[in-house]
């Protein structure tokens, strides 16, 4: 597949890795913000191939992982109502709330369906006017436009039986929170290429400047990612803290203005709770008053109580890059992808889950 296979070329990855090897002279701690990038690193074992001096820590960029358990509890509660059909993305079906996940709700008789696209959610609402279709819509900046479009389109069509249970998060406030922490070890960031495709580069450039930390936008294939890491290492070795875009075939400086417009038409910025990280000011999106009739949390009086996380879980530190999943005593014992305790074990993109799936101690990785 064009623009995919060539960016998995092993020779090119090796050439880029060799160049990193030649460039690096001392240890650096880098964070890939996005869970998709974590997935690529684990899937291809890139962290094993990077020079020892380059330590990758995994960021909070997995929307499934950071969706608050309270929202899932709410979704489960709504799904169990007889008049409700709850639709959501495949990833969300197995994410546990404080009591159960949506699959378990389905086992108890709830009408829960999976969709690939928000447009499919609308299609279900159109086809079943007798049901109220609630779309559990989660995501970062990348997904928000599509979710917003569902609301916008529902309004345009005058659909009366459709609403959004929305939980959207924004990357820059989380990164700022991370950088503001005195414990932060991260010296350079690989910024999330698909978030920047939509949101543009301005905020990341400002952060690079304000916090004097290099930030490079990276893609999701091995070549893209290693290229971004090379740029970061080069900057750090040269003593520069700049912003750069290493995913230019998709990301423009302004981002996608059409997508940004639909997001600000339907949503407004609001405080948001992140699973595993707590509340971060102005880090989420909520549905504007104008579209209140499509807001499930307004239609069905919602009180979100965020359950407490067990003390054993070091998720918050993992998401800030302070510790590794393998540092956690629950990792792989009481906390597994089937029985997740912390947010990072919840989705395949979460750092703990990726570690659990692809890497385990005592596995011989050399031929």
318 to 357, contacts with other proteins by CB under 8 A? 329-330, 333-335, 337-342, 347-349, 356-357
Residue 251: how many other CB atoms lie within 10 Å: 26
Three-state secondary-structure class, residue 43:
helix
List the one residue from 25, 160, 254, 258 that touches other proteins (CB under 8 A). Answer: 258
Residues numbered 199-238 forming contacts with other proteins, rule: CB under 8 A = 205, 208-209, 211-214, 216, 220, 222-223, 227, 230-231, 234-236
Q: Applying CB under 8 A, which part among 16-24, 158-166, 266-274, 281-289 lies near other proteins? A: 16-24
Choose between 142 and 297: whose C-beta lies nearer to other proteins: 142
CA atoms within 13 A on the CB side of 293: 9
The answer to whether the beta carbons of residues 161 and 131 sit under 8 Å apart is yes
Q: How far is the CB of 286 from other proteins (least distance, A)?
A: 20
Q: How far is the CB of 207 from other proteins (least distance, A)?
A: 11
Residues numbered 130-189 forming contacts with other proteins, rule: CB under 8 A = 139-140, 142-143, 145-146, 149, 153, 156-157, 187
| Residue 54 binds other proteins (CB under 8 A) | no
| Residue 264 binds other proteins (CB under 8 A) | no
| Residue 364 binds other proteins (CB under 8 A) | yes
The DSSP code for 82 is: T
DSSP string covering 89-138: EGGGGG---SS--HHHHHHTT-EEEEESSHHHHHHHHHH-TTSEEEEEEE
Choose between 51 and 307: whose C-beta lies nearer to other proteins: 307
**Pick from 70, 54, 44: nearest CA to 22:** 54
Three-state secondary-structure class, residue 289:
helix
Q: How far is the CB of 356 from other proteins (least distance, A)?
A: 8
Q: How far is the CB of 177 from other proteins (least distance, A)?
A: 16
* Per-residue CA distances from 335 to 38, 70, 309, 330, 344 (Å): 19, 20, 12, 5, 10
| Residue 56 binds other proteins (CB under 8 A) | no
Q: How far is the CB of 134 from other proteins (least distance, A)?
A: 15
Residues numbered 297-316 forming contacts with other proteins, rule: CB under 8 A = 307-310, 312
Distance CA 139, CA 137 (A): 7
Q: How far is the CB of 299 from other proteins (least distance, A)?
A: 23
What dihedral do alpha carbons 29, 33, 34, 39 form, nearest 10°? 10
Q: How far is the CB of 239 from other proteins (least distance, A)?
A: 6
Choose between 94 and 131: whose C-beta lies nearer to other proteins: 94
Burial group, residue 338, by CB count within 10 angstroms (0-12, 13-18, 19+): exposed
List the one residue from 52, 130, 158, 365 that touches other proteins (CB under 8 A). Answer: 365
| Residue 10 binds other proteins (CB under 8 A) | yes
Q: How far is the CB of 243 from other proteins (least distance, A)?
A: 5
DSSP string covering 152-194: HHHHHHT-SSEEEEEEEE-HHHHHHHHHHSTT----EEEEEHH
Residues numbered 65-104 forming contacts with other proteins, rule: CB under 8 A = 69, 87, 89-91, 93-94, 96, 98-101, 103-104
* Per-residue CA distances from 331 to 58, 59, 92, 179 (Å): 16, 18, 21, 26
């Amino acid at each position: 597949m064009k623009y995919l296979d060539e960016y998995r070329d092993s020779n090119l990855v090796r050439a880029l890795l060799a160049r990193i090897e030649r460039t690096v002279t001392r240890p650096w701690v880098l964070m890939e913000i996005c869970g998709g990038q974590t997935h690529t690193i684990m899937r291809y074992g890139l962290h094993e191939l990077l020079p020892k001096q380059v330590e990758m820590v995994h960021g909070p960029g997995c929307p499934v992982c950071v969706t608050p358990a309270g929202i899932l509890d709410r979704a489960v509660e709504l799904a169990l109502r007889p008049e409700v059909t709850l639709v959501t993305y495949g990833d969300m079906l197995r994410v546990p709330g404080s009591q159960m996940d949506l699959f378990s709700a389905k086992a108890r008789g709830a009408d829960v369906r999976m969709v690939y696209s928000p447009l499919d959610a609308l299609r279900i609402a159109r086809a079943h006017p007798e049901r109220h279709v609630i779309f559990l819509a989660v995501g970062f900046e990348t997904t928000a436009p599509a979710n917003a479009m569902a609301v916008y389109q529902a309004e345009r069509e005058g659909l009366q039986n459709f609403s959004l249970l929305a939980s959207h998060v924004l990357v820059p406030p989380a990164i700022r929170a991370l950088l503001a922490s005195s414990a932060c070890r991260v010296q350079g960031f690989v910024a999330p290429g698909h978030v920047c495709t939509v949101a543009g580069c301005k905020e990341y450039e400002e952060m690079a400047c304000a916090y004097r930390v290099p930030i490079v936008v990276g893609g999701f294939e091995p070549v893209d990612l290693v290229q971004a890491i090379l740029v970061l290492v080069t900057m750090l070795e040269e003593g520069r803290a700049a912003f750069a875009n290493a995913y230019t075939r998709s990301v423009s400086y302004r981002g996608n203005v059409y997508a940004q417009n639909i997001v600000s038409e339907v949503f407004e910025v609001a405080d948001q709770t992140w699973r595993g990280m707590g509340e971060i000011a102005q880090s989420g999106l909520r549905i504007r008053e104008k579209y209140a009739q499509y807001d499930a949390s307004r239609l069905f009086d919602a009180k979100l109580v965020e359950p407490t996380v067990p003390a054993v879980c070091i998720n918050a530190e993992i998401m800030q890059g302070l510790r590794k999943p393998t540092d956690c005593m629950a990792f792989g014992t009481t906390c597994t992808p089937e029985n997740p305790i912390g947010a990072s074990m919840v989705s395949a993109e979460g750092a703990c889950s990726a570690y659990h799936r692809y890497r385990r101690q005592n596995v011989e990785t050399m031929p």
